Structure 1
Amino acid sequence: MIDTLLFPLQFPFMQNAFWIAAMVAVPTALLSCFLVLKGWALMGDAISHAVLPGIVLAYIAGIPLIVGAFGAGMVCALSTGYLSENSRVKQDTVMGVVFSGMFGIGIILYTSIETNAHLDHILFGNMLGVGPGDLWTAGIISLVVAVLLLVNWKALMLHAFDPAQAQVSGLRVGLLHYGLLTMLSLTIVATLTATGLILAIGLLIAPGAIAFLTVRRFGAMMAVAVAVCMAAMLGGTYLSFFIDSAPAPTIILILTGFFILAFLRRNMLTRRAQKNLRT
């Protein structure tokens, strides 16, 4: 029985998959807390889709794909901010137009070139094909983003709850705003090889949403989000080996299950509290 349970760890590709899962779990979970509080779920979705043309252009230019992905993510974030501030259209509408347009450009560019890179690996990730370079990239980005979020979490929390109060308090609101967008773009780049563009949004939203339903203090919310994301990442990778499925969708399904359980638990506690008040 022990040999069977430890069997996946004997393969180098599974070892790399576990490593990158553990690396990206922390920054995505921490960032998801701020995105949930700030209502930026669609922003994460927009940037995750919008990096595709940057990846293709970087491949054509012969430069690291991470450079193109990060550049495209920042173009999407900055253009969304500019259009929403200088038009009557609401931000969520602008984000929908921008990310769908950039994603369409990326698909057209991809189909117009010859490449050995499979589109499915870009869209849905290729965790079982992770190499040393991918581990270094994900590890460095994850460490930088996690440290920045933990050091500045109080300022970012105030900015997420009340930007006006943050500005009155003397915080540099513009720096916090674009700093958060920069970290969002970097985190999506870090998760590129693990979950791909489409499934990355699950890692950037679900852990924070689960923690938001579970606890009431923001510090505890970050801790729960990291624990939930780590459990889903490692558990999904491990489970996918035995059920012969792709790791990334398995991880997202586990996070979805956690969210449903947290939702049901919160509803049960709310009904119990209302019943006690009536009695």
Structure 2
Amino acid sequence: MSPLDFLADLTNPDLAFLPKALAVAVMSAIMCGVVGCYVVLRGMAFIGDAVAHAVFPGLAVAFVLSGSLVLGGVTAGVITALLVAVFSQNRRIKEDSVIGIFFVAAFALGIVIISRAPGYAGSLQQFLFGSITGIPDRDLFVVGGTGLVLVLAVVLLHKELVAVTLDREMARALGLPVFWLDVILYVLVTLAVVMAVQTIGNILVLALLVTPAAAARLLTDRLIVMMLLAPAIGAGSALVGLYLSWSWDLPVGGTVVLVLTAVFLLAYLLAPRHGVLTRLVRTT
């Protein structure tokens, strides 16, 4: 399928789900790209995977009650993030241990809940691996509104989030509310993950959160540029991934992740300053 044919399908009224899927995928990629910069700089990629597990019971409850998957996932993720932030204040238990306990427990709860619902196998597959079909119109507005809130929060709290990300002890010494900034960062990650779950799936969502930011990190030494590049890489990969999956009848989530990985490998090899081949050429 040529790009022009894909464009024609996007404007075909009989394929109304396709432009909705593209819009959600691109908006999700932008959100994940922005928040993912803090995740990569803080070295907390595990939090993205954990949040993807944490939102699962909310998705399951929303499915059983025929409610909004977005609102269900956000609610579950935020509650779990608050629990992690509170329990992490105990210095005898490390943050990654608390994350492992609560987020895996949340995922297990989701499995139990959804196992009681009709169509268990099919719905579970949709949650885990994503689907481009069946995205309600209301979710477009939810995703768009959530994206605006997330970007506004990042703009307003950028300096504080960077301070906590790079040096937590220094941030405490400066009098910054580290606990509440941690909560805000967890909530922002949760919002970005829930938005991405619909198209890329619960299992593969970590790639959308981490890979664009990691690729951007290789391409620039400036944080502001990184935070512009990461969402651009994510959105572009979502567009290309959806095009390839639609053209060759491939799973959307897996295709998007493979495109993201290809971009990361190109950056790893050819980045102007930090690319492996670029440095090799300079030394020869």
Normalised TM-score (structure 2)? 0.87
C-alpha separation between the residues in 2 aligned to 1:3 and 1:67? 35
C-alpha separation between the residues in 2 aligned to 1:184 and 1:2? 33
User: Once structures 1 and 2 are overlaid, which stretch shifts more, 178-187 or 7-16?
Assistant: 7-16
Closer/same/farther in 2, CA of residues 170 and 71 from structure 1, 3 Å limit: same
C-alpha separation between the residues in 1 aligned to 2:220 and 2:281? 17
- 1:99 alignment partner, SS class: helix
Amino acid at match of 2:139: D
Amino acid at match of 1:269: T
Q: Which runs of 5+ in 2 are unaligned?
A: none
Cα pair 1:134 1:193 within 8 Å, conserved: no
% of aligned pairs identical?
A: 32
C-alpha separation between the residues in 2 aligned to 1:135 and 1:40? 29
Cα pair 2:85 2:179 within 8 Å, conserved: no
Does residue 267 (structure 1) correspond to residue 276 (structure 2)? The answer is yes
Closer/same/farther in 2, CA of residues 167 and 104 from structure 1, 3 Å limit: same
Q: 1:178 maps to which residue?
A: 183
C-alpha separation between the residues in 2 aligned to 1:243 and 1:58? 32
- 1:25 alignment partner, SS class: helix
For residues 126-275 of structure 1, what are the structure 2 equivalents within 5 Å? 126-265=131-270, 266-272=275-281, 275=283
Closer/same/farther in 2, CA of residues 272 and 245 from structure 1, 3 Å limit: same
Q: State the 1:179 CA deviation.
A: 0.9
C-alpha separation between the residues in 2 aligned to 1:170 and 1:85? 17
Cα pair 1:8 1:241 within 8 Å, conserved: no
Q: Which runs of 5+ in 1 are unaligned?
A: none
Q: 2:18 maps to which residue?
A: 14
C-alpha separation between the residues in 2 aligned to 1:61 and 1:39? 37
RMSD between aligned residues: 2.3
Q: 1:94 maps to which residue?
A: 98
- Residues 35-58 of structure 1: CA deviation (Å, up to 9, x unaligned): 001122111111111111222234
Does residue 108 (structure 1) correspond to residue 105 (structure 2)? The answer is no
Q: State the 1:64 CA deviation.
A: 4.0
Count of residue pairs brought into register by the alignment = 275
Does residue 37 (structure 1) correspond to residue 41 (structure 2)? The answer is yes
Cα pair 2:6 2:243 within 8 Å, conserved: no
C-alpha separation between the residues in 1 aligned to 2:24 and 2:71? 19
User: Once structures 1 and 2 are overlaid, which stretch shifts more, 214-223 or 101-110?
Assistant: 101-110
C-alpha separation between the residues in 2 aligned to 1:174 and 1:89? 15
Cα pair 2:88 2:98 within 8 Å, conserved: yes
Does residue 24 (structure 1) correspond to residue 28 (structure 2)? The answer is yes
> Which structure shows the bigger proportion of residues in helix conformation?
1
For residues 53-72 of structure 1, what are the structure 2 equivalents within 5 Å? 53-60=57-64, 64-72=68-76
User: Once structures 1 and 2 are overlaid, which stretch shifts more, 207-216 or 157-166?
Assistant: 157-166
Cα pair 1:46 1:76 within 8 Å, conserved: no
